[in-house]
Structure 1
Amino acid sequence: MRLPSLWSRDRDDPFAALHREVERVFEDFGRGWPSARALIGTAGAGASPNVEIHETDTGLEVSAELPGVDEKDVEVTLSENVLTIKGEKRSEHEEKQNGRVFSERSYGSFQRSFALPFEVDASKVTATFDKGVLKVALPKSPEQEKKTRRIEVKSG
């Protein structure tokens, strides 16, 4: 009696087929993309910028670290209560040595979107960019402030 090979057993097993497909997707995922370092410019950083969101009594404060990104290459939009931060990093380096020219270029883009937990006053949203840090202030809408009521918690 001949035993079936491992390959033929896996071929008939739907879980093995799913496992192979998932492995293939992860292997193919990064092919042809610039490295995360080229996208953001810092070793170990992911393709998306680090973002910190802080809620205050009057709204939200969002800070995004964008080292190596120029202010003109950053776009901030607010649409239907979703804040989106998009950007592109461009880096060009040219070095001349012993009559030879070495040139290196890297490009990469990122996008992060955040569903906001409350209605904001879109007319008062501000964004500033300083030393590679984007700060966005999102004040609550007047209607939202009326809907919010702080309830004092008392001990028993």
Structure 2
Amino acid sequence: MKVPSLWSGQDLTPDPFKSLRREMEDMVRNFGHNLPALSVGAGAPAINVAETDGALEVTAELPGVEEKDIKVSVEGNRLVISGEKKHEEKRDEKDWHVEERSFGSFYRSMSLPFSPADDAISAHLDKGVLHVSVKKPGEAVKNVKTVQIKTGAPPQAGSAPQAG
């Protein structure tokens, strides 16, 4: 019987999940290899969301997309930004002709913490960046209330206040 060396790196305890763990690691490692890149031409544009006192401000990066090819809509409390990017380039140089085209659609949606009024949304496209502002309804605007902190233990539930 051969005694394993303490320095061989062999684990003497059997691991029933070793092959399953190896298979899961391979799946995670190879997950993105067959997916299209998430760019404007193939899926979701990069967006930023910021909240101010009276509105939600959303910016979406849409380089090369024209205003007529972008749709901003609200479905209940869901803000949807969608559209299509079209790129066509033609070059005639020397004795050859090059014509390239690329097309792709994009779609992003996000849940809003409220249902906005019809006139509460505005959108502007400036240098490839879409700016969407969603005004909050009056009841959604945060009211800050300061709570007084009292010293001592809290009163116990069900007990009557003691006369002091």
Pairwise same-fold verdict (TM > 0.5): yes
Matching of residues 8-87 of structure 1 within 5 Å? 13-30=19-36, 36=39, 39=41, 48-87=44-83
Give aligned-pair identity as a percent: 35
Name the SS for the 1:13 alignment partner.
helix
Q: Give the whole-Å Cα distance in 2 for the aligned partners of 1:55 and 1:21.
A: 37
Instruction: Answer yes or no: is the 8 Å Cα contact 1:121–1:138 preserved in 2.
Output: no
Q: Give the whole-Å Cα distance in 1 for the aligned partners of 2:29 and 2:49.
A: 34
**Letter of the 2:35 counterpart:** F
Q: CA deviation at 1:13?
A: 2.1
**Letter of the 2:57 counterpart:** E
Instruction: Answer yes or no: is the 8 Å Cα contact 1:59–1:120 preserved in 2.
Output: no
In the superposition, relative to structure 1, how do residues 89 and 153 fare at CA in structure 2: closer, same or farther (>3 Å)? farther
Q: Give the whole-Å Cα distance in 2 for the aligned partners of 1:74 and 1:153.
A: 46
In the superposition, relative to structure 1, how do residues 67 and 26 fare at CA in structure 2: closer, same or farther (>3 Å)? closer
Matching of residues 117-128 of structure 1 within 5 Å? 117-128=113-124
In the superposition, relative to structure 1, how do residues 153 and 88 fare at CA in structure 2: closer, same or farther (>3 Å)? farther
Instruction: Answer yes or no: is the 8 Å Cα contact 2:76–2:115 preserved in 1.
Output: no
What are the superposed Cα offsets for residues 13-51 of structure 1, whole Å, 9 maximum, x if unpaired?
222333334444432223xx6x84x739xxxxxx63332
The structure with the larger Rg is 2
- Unaligned 5+ runs, structure 2: 1-17, 149-164
Larger CA deviation: 15-24 vs 131-140 = 15-24
**Letter of the 1:120 counterpart:** P
Name the SS for the 2:125 alignment partner.
strand
In the superposition, relative to structure 1, how do residues 133 and 25 fare at CA in structure 2: closer, same or farther (>3 Å)? closer
Q: CA RMSD in A?
A: 2.8
**Letter of the 1:133 counterpart:** V
Name the SS for the 1:89 alignment partner.
strand
Aligned length: 131
In the superposition, relative to structure 1, how do residues 58 and 94 fare at CA in structure 2: closer, same or farther (>3 Å)? same
Does structure 1 residue 137 correspond to structure 2 residue 139?
no
More helix by share: 1
Q: Give the whole-Å Cα distance in 2 for the aligned partners of 1:66 and 1:18.
A: 36
Q: Give the whole-Å Cα distance in 1 for the aligned partners of 2:45 and 2:138.
A: 31
Q: Give the whole-Å Cα distance in 2 for the aligned partners of 1:54 and 1:39.
A: 25
